[in-house]
Chains A and B, each alone.
Chain A
Amino acid sequence: MDTVVYVARRLFYGLMLMFFVVVLNFVLIRLAPGDPAEVIAGEMGGTTQEILADIRATYGLDKPVATQLAIYLGQVAHGDLGKSFFFDQPVARLIGTRIGATILLVLTAQFLSILIGVVMGVFAARKPNGVVSALVAVFSTLGYALPVFWTGIMLIIVFASWLPIFPVEGMRSARLEGGGFVHVLDVLHHLVLPAVTLAIIFLAQYARLARTSMIEVLGADYIRTARAKGVPERRVVFHHALRNAVLPILTVAGLQFGNLISGALLVETVFNWPGMGTLAFDSILRRDYPTVMGILIIGAAMVVVANILTDLGYRLADPRIRTEGGRR
């Protein structure tokens, strides 16, 4: 199948999915207890009936839910996510200020967990009864079982309180002298603990998967062929075997993206990382429905895009499912 057709089809399915995400979330949120108009009125200080009616009219809350949904869908289709109940700002702009931080966190954690996981898995596979193998086994269970906030708080206690190496929270130091590069370093410094916390959850899984996959690949006939050619063992492992062993990891990495984003939401609140997660958390407490909806939609869109990118990566890595057109 041609790659362009393939991507177009995936995008189409992605849009369908997004449509259901919007409808489902809209209905669920409207079913949740609590009247947003009262919340907004509470923020403003007074709660007379006129004020409530006024608010409902302004935000379109007086119309039937179906009509509200139709209007909302229309807006979203035009890229308009509505206006925040809490901030006097469009939701899109609100998310725009936060999305970068979340993407930075998610991609760093994904990169770390895959890289370290694969390295651990490869070493474990070389010596299935060795120390690394045992560590991977213990780690897989722990990494899975430990709640994110616990890991996060432990890391804060150890690496921010006992050994003050890393900052406790946030993404930037308040006062910082120096040029752009200093700021980049500052952000990276803040990034370490949250990214590690998020990576730990997935690291164990990748390590275990890489170990299994590598052990299987190392037993394959083409590995024997490579050895029979006189290929040095290091090259057998890191060239001939690894290229094949990472294929299932790519697949899982794509599937994990949704979990990664919801994990980021928790990690952000633990470390007060100024991304979509903290915004979502605060917005839920404030009953700021448009913002919550916007974050859900953007989150879903991120997962859809990530999955398409993963599939494209997989097609590059595995010639067997690439197009039949031959070399390009």
Chain B
Amino acid sequence: MSPLLDVRDLRVEFATRHGTVTALDGVSLRLEPGETLGVVGESGCGKSITALAIMGLIPMPPGRIAGGSIRLDGEELIGAPERRLRQLRGRDIGMIFQEPMTSLNPVFRVGDQIAEAILLHQDVSRDEARRRALDLLRTVGVPDPGQRIDAYPHELSGGLRQRVMIAIAISCQPRLLIADEPTTALDVTVQAQIFDLIRDIQDRLGVAVILITHDMGAIAEMADRVAVMYAGRVVEEGPADAILDSPAHPYTRGLIGCIPAIDPALAALDRLPPLAEIPGVVPPLHLLGQGCAFADRCIEAVDICRKVAPPLTGRGHAVACHLHAAAAASEES
């Protein structure tokens, strides 16, 4: 099967006060139709920028796509005319954002905001669009949709607003749904509901999902594959089981190393604690040097780690780490 989404060697730069910084440094991702790719990594590692690049929504300036390729069903999106990107956005790719409180326009009724997406991409009447908006509200589990369709965003709770956002994102039955930390701003109980909803929608529509989250529990439950990002690069990528059970990169091990995966109390709650704390911070992008960006925080780092950035190697389960590469090599010989 040809991949639905094929991102290769994507480089995104930003012009800042400190000069040009590289926010994405050769990111590659593949996604098959109907598959779920979990993307994890600390704040600022480039998860949202990756998502926005796929949408063609990197603010330019200050942003710039400095290289690479993004193919949707074989069609190159980088450099595609804005008209074409506009067609794809909302129709073939839907996106849910982190901030449900501010992601809906405060002066328009939520029903109209859903209907707008339908009217933009489909040749239907206003009445039909409204009817579909009502159906969508029902689909995403908004109680009393007949009333809520005429509500303004401020009249809804955060969880309901996120449901409305999901309704907008799936209004045209996209092939790809990007959920950028869809639950971070929500209450714990609501978080689980939103994840359930996304999974339910995926089952029903067969849509492929890129799930960006800090919630390793959600990753464990939903993701087929996982990409771990660090300072603008993918440092480990592979099947979710492989990565969760035997993380290879020291950073990934740090992230998920201390998750008490079998803690019955947490298992009962159907979720796991958020990412573990790793000592140190992600270096600011303008201070990134030659070597592995994680080297300064890595307890196992050796000389070469500070000199040469390790490439992402390995088929199936790929890792960008000199130590891992060396270990794998010695195992083979």
Contact = CB atoms under 8 A, between A and B. Distances in A.
A229 B91 CA distance: 8
A320 interface: yes
A228 B152 CA distance: 20
Interface in B34-93: 55, 57, 82, 86-91
B273 interface: no
Contacts of B224: none
B103 A224 contact: yes
A320 B104 CA distance: 13
- Sort chain A's interface into a size bin: 20 to 34
A230 B86 contact: yes
B107 A318 contact: yes
A230 B97 contact: no
Interface residues of B, number: 32
Given A230-B89, A231-B116, A319-B154, A225 B165 contact: yes
A326 B150 CA distance: 8
Nearest to A223: B105
A221 interface: yes
B99 interface: yes
Interface in A190-242: 220-222, 224-233, 240
Contact of B120 (A220, A231, A233, A317): A231
B89 A229 contact: yes
Nearest to B55: A228
Nearest to B56: A227
A316 to B, nearest CB: 10
A243 interface: yes
Given A229-B116, A230-B89, A230-B117, A224 B105 contact: no
A327 interface: yes
A225 to B, nearest CB: 5
Contacts of A227: 55, 57, 89
A289 B82 CA distance: 67
Contacts of B102: 220-222
A225 B97 contact: yes
A19 B116 CA distance: 51
Contacts of B150: 326-327
Interface string A287-328: 000000000000000000000000000000111100000110
Contacts of A220: 102
Contacts of B154: 319-320
Contacts of A230: 86-91, 117, 120-121
Given A224-B57, A228-B57, A230-B121, A244 B89 contact: no
Interface in B89-126: 89-91, 94-95, 97, 99, 102-108, 116-117, 120-121
A1 to B, nearest CB: 16
B168 interface: yes
A320 B168 contact: no
Nearest to B107: A243
Contact of B107 (A228, A232, A317): A317
A200 B120 CA distance: 40
Contacts of A232: 86
Contacts of A319: 106-107, 152, 154
B8 to A, nearest CB: 23
14 contacts: A226-B105, A227-B55, A227-B57, A228-B55, A228-B90, A228-B169, A229-B89, A229-B168, A230-B91, A231-B116, A243-B107, A317-B107, A319-B154, A326-B147
Given A231-B120, A233-B82, A244-B105, 14 more contacts: A220-B102, A224-B57, A227-B57, A227-B89, A228-B97, A229-B120, A230-B90, A230-B120, A231-B116, A240-B108, A243-B107, A317-B107, A326-B147, A326-B151
